[in-house]
Structures are given as C-alpha cells and as structure tokens.
Amino acid sequence: MPTELRNVMADVTSLDSFLRAMNAEKLRAVINAIGVPSGGTKGLRHKPKGSGDLHSPKKPEIPSQLARVLQDSNLPYVILDDARCAPRPEVIEVPQPKYENAFYFPFFVTLHRCGGSCGARPFETSCQLQEKEDFNLLVSKTSWSSSSDRLDETSNEITPVRMTNHSSCSCQCKVKPSDCDNRTQRYSKENCRCDCVRGFMPCPRNHRWDPIKCQCICSPSNAVRAECTKRVEFDMESCRCTCSKKRCKNRAKVRDPKTCRCKCPRCPFGLKEDPQSCACTRAYRRRRQH
C-alpha cells in the first residue's frame, strides 16, 4: 500500500470520512440517491423504491449500470463504520467435563476477545491480544449416575472453571521475527516483513530470484517442461527432467534410472528372473553329453 494512502487510512473510521479523504465525495451522491443514511446501525434498512425513485430529478442520478444492479437486489442496503481493533463481546463456550455423566452450567458466556481492523496497515498487521485476565468462573456442576433417570437423583455443586478475558489489544505485525530464516533474512519491524540480507543474485538456468524466500527457485518455462518426453516428468526439486514417479503397472517392476522404462530388479548371482512375474528362480545348467 502506498505510504500516502496508508496515512489516509489511519484517520478514517467511516465510509463518509473515507470518501472525503479520498476526494471521492461524488460517490456520496450515489448513496444519497439510494436513500441510505449514515451514522450508526439504526434506520439503515432502506431499499430503492423503484426505477422512478432512482432516477428522480430531485436526487442525483445513478449510473445506469449501477442502477440496474441496485434494482435487481432484494436485500436492504446499509452503511456501517469500520470496526477498529479493540476487545469486543463474544460468545464463548464453557469447557465441559470430560466424562459424560456431568455438565457445567452456563454452557456459554459473553467475554471479550480481540478483533477489528488496523486501518493504517490493514494487510501487514492484525488485531492481537496484548493483555489478558484469567479468572475462575463459578458454574453449577450437575452430575448423575449412568443408571439413573430421575431428576431427584442428580447432584449439584458449585465449582470453578478457569476462563480468560481479553482486556487489551493492539495492532501487531502478522509476520514475526521467528518467521524469518536467519541464514538469508533479517526482520524489519517497520515493514512487518522478512527482508533479504543480500539483494538480487543471478540464478542458474531454469531458475529465478525469489525476493520472499531470498534464494533462487526453480521456474521452468513451458518449453523446458515440453522437453520431458514419455515416461519422464519435470521435477521441481531437482529442476530437471527425471523418470516419472508413477509406479509401474506390474508392481514387481521398477524404473530403470537410465531409460525410465519398467524392468525387473536384477536377481542375485546364480538366479534368473521371470520376465512376467519378476520372480527369481534357480538357473539349471544342462549337463554335457559324453
């Protein structure tokens, strides 16, 4: 993302402020024509009233192509503000006993979890936990014997269950220093990425320089791949044509590394192979007639 655009994104929290910052307020006229108010979630369930309303002379005109799209939709149009990074209420499941003849109540509770956007750097950073609070949630444990089917034979007790609440969040880099290969990369906290220690380096044939992996990687052209003939395929690891890894139809046979044809493995000395089954049998020599 361009630096200037990143600076703009740091200060916008709504569609209105975004359009103003981008000098695209003329698009606001389209929203006005649709009849969608801004500012909160109340009263936003508005749909175009029809062709007449969309093209009314009292309202700004909507491009014909967009007007057709809006008329075809039966869903309401709404405008919501950007949800910035912060601890937000979320429904969390309470861990249950591992055995089957008991449960904890309540089953779900509302706690805070980190979530939301990082407007200035939406692609390099994400909303992550900064501080948390562990606590014991008091629940009612209900248990019963496997043979019981009566309510008055169940037992109840108050017991604690450990839970976690997110109390503070911050926008942090998605890529961490541990993601970098120390042999070829160094971590850039400013850019939230792994940069190559060395710049561009010339690569051998059928390879290209990868600025992410900081090394030459196999990148054959279609013409090079076409050089691989029958029973041969292009191997990305060795970056050349090699014998196909597909097994021979006759499972007893193996591929000859020189010809890539299927053949029987060589039998030990004194044994000969059956060309069909590849079984090794004793070779009998005929006795000479005297």
| Sequence spans of domains, the chain | 1-38+77-82, 86-173, 181-218, 223-282
pLDDT of residue 69: 61
Please measure the distance between the N-terminal and C-terminal CA atoms of the chain and give it in whole angstroms.
Answer: 95
pLDDT of residue 46: 46
Angle at CA 212, nearest 5°, toward 206 and 216?
25
Could you tell me whether strands 232-235 and 240-243 are parallel, antiparallel, or unpaired per DSSP bridges?
Answer: antiparallel
Is there a contact between 104 and 97 (Cβ–Cβ < 8 Å)? yes
pLDDT of residue 266: 85
Q: What is the CA radius of gyration of the chain?
A: 35
Question: 246: exposed, middle or buried (C-beta count within 10 Å: 0-12, 13-18, 19+)?
Answer: exposed
pTM of the model: 0.62
pLDDT tens-digit map of 37-94: 555 555 444 444 444 443 344 445 556 656 666 666 677 788 889 999 999 999 999 9
What is the CATH class of 86-173? mainly beta
pLDDT of residue 245: 83
Residues of the chain with pLDDT under 70: 1, 35-73, 148-149, 283-290
* CA distance linking residue 234 with residue 222, whole number of Å: 11
Stretch (H or E) spanning 18: helix 15-21
Is there a contact between 51 and 71 (Cβ–Cβ < 8 Å)? yes
Please name the residue that has the structure tokens 């939301």.
Answer: 116
Angle at CA 272, nearest 5°, toward 271 and 277?
120
pLDDT of residue 277: 84
One-letter amino acid at 261 equals R
